[in-house]
């Protein structure tokens, strides 16, 4: 997937993944895809809920060796 | 009026862990694009105190209060397992290990995200706290201002 930006929040704890995702998202254009890499296990629910609330689209999510990766398309 | 959602939090407690919880929720809500207000009253006011001592005119009781209360949330004790001050040291160590944000950074981030920090003026008088002793860029208000924010609120917490 072609991400316009990759955000690395690995190792960071709540609430940082969501705060940084929001900041990164602000810099993107509508339709752009943001790739977020996180290790906080709560990020799965957090990013899913945040994406839904903001009207964005969670295109895909994967989990590999404890790293959660999300691709979010900006509304 | 803006169509943004609102989160309002009353921070009454003067414990490090509770202040941390309040500021984490505030930062989370700000990331949800909410207009966020934290209304600091009673012991929660100490979260807004400057670290350094500020020379201000005070009576005897007020001086005692000022001495006994922590200057800033970073100096607060824990609500559980404080162990005469060892608790906060231990939890800060564990927080570092898990890369959780310490309170000073949470507060900084909250101000960066335009979280409105309000000091309750009535309890400031009770505890003898003066404006000069509190950090910059905060608002001063009473219950009505808080209700004004909270009545349009979507999330409202008392911590």
Q: Is B2 or A63 the better-scoring residue by pLDDT?
A: A63
pTM flag (> 0.90): yes
Over 90: is that where the pLDDT of A1 sits? no
According to CATH, what is the number of the domain A5-73? 3.30.110.40
Percent of chain B with pLDDT over 70: 99
What ipTM was reported for this prediction?
0.85
> Residue B113 carries which DSSP code?
T
Over 80: is that where the pLDDT of B86 sits? yes
Over 90: is that where the pLDDT of B2 sits? no
> Taking CB atoms and an 8 Å limit, are A53 and B28 in contact across chains?
no
> Taking CB atoms and an 8 Å limit, are A15 and B24 in contact across chains?
yes
Output the pLDDT for position B3.
Answer: 80
Q: How confident is the model at residue A23 (pLDDT cuts 50, 70, 90)?
A: very high
The whole-number average pLDDT for the span A4-24 is 95
Enumerate residues 6+ apart whose C-beta is below 8 A from B100: A13, A14
Task: Enumerate the domain spans of chain A.
Answer: 5-73
- By C-alpha distance, the chain B residue nearest A49 is B32
> Taking CB atoms and an 8 Å limit, are B100 and A18 in contact across chains?
no
Strand segments, DSSP code E, in B24-134 are: 35-40, 116-120
- Which of A14, A19, A49, A67 is the catalytic position? A14
Task: Flag whether residue A6 sits within 8 Å of chain B, measured between CB atoms.
Answer: no
Over 60: is that where the pLDDT of B6 sits? yes
Residue A1: CB atoms within 10 Å: 9
Enumerate residues 6+ apart whose C-beta is below 8 A from B65: B127, B128
pLDDT digits (tens, 9 = 90+) for B50-84: 999 999 999 999 999 999 999 999 999 999 999 99
Catalytic annotation present for A14? yes
pLDDT digits (tens, 9 = 90+) for B94-122: 999 999 999 999 999 999 999 999 999 99
Q: Which residues of chain A neighbour B98 with C-beta distances below 8 Å?
A: 13
- By C-alpha distance, the chain B residue nearest A46 is B28
Q: Which residues of chain B neighbour A53 with C-beta distances below 8 Å?
A: 32
Q: Which residues of chain B neighbour A16 with C-beta distances below 8 Å?
A: 101
């Amino acid at each position: 997937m072609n991400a316009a930006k990759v955000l690395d929040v690995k190792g960071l704890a709540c609430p940082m993944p969501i705060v940084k995702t929001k900041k990164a998202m602000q810099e993107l254009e509508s339709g752009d895809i943001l790739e977020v890499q996180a290790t906080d296990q709560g990020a799965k629910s957090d990013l899913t809920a945040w994406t839904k609330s903001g009207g964005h689209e969670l295109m895909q999510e994967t989990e590999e060796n404890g790293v959660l990766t999300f691709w979010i398309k900006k509304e | 009026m803006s169509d943004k959602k609102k989160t309002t939090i009353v921070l009454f407690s003067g414990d490090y862990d509770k202040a941390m919880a309040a500021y984490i929720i505030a930062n989370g809500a700000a990331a949800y694009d909410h207009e966020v207000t934290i209304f600091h009253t009673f012991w929660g006011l100490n979260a807004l105190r400057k670290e350094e001592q500020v020379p201000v005119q005070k009576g005897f009781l007020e001086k005692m209060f000022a001495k006994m209360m922590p200057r800033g949330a970073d100096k607060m004790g824990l609500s559980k397992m404080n162990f005469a001050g060892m608790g906060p040291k231990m939890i800060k160590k564990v927080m570092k290990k898990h890369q959780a944000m310490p309170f000073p950074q949470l507060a900084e981030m909250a101000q960066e995200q335009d979280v409105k920090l309000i000091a309750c003026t009535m309890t400031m008088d009770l505890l003898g706290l003066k404006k000069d002793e509190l950090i910059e860029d905060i608002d001063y208000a009473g219950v009505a201002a808080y209700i004004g924010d909270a009545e349009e609120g979507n999330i409202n917490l008392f911590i």
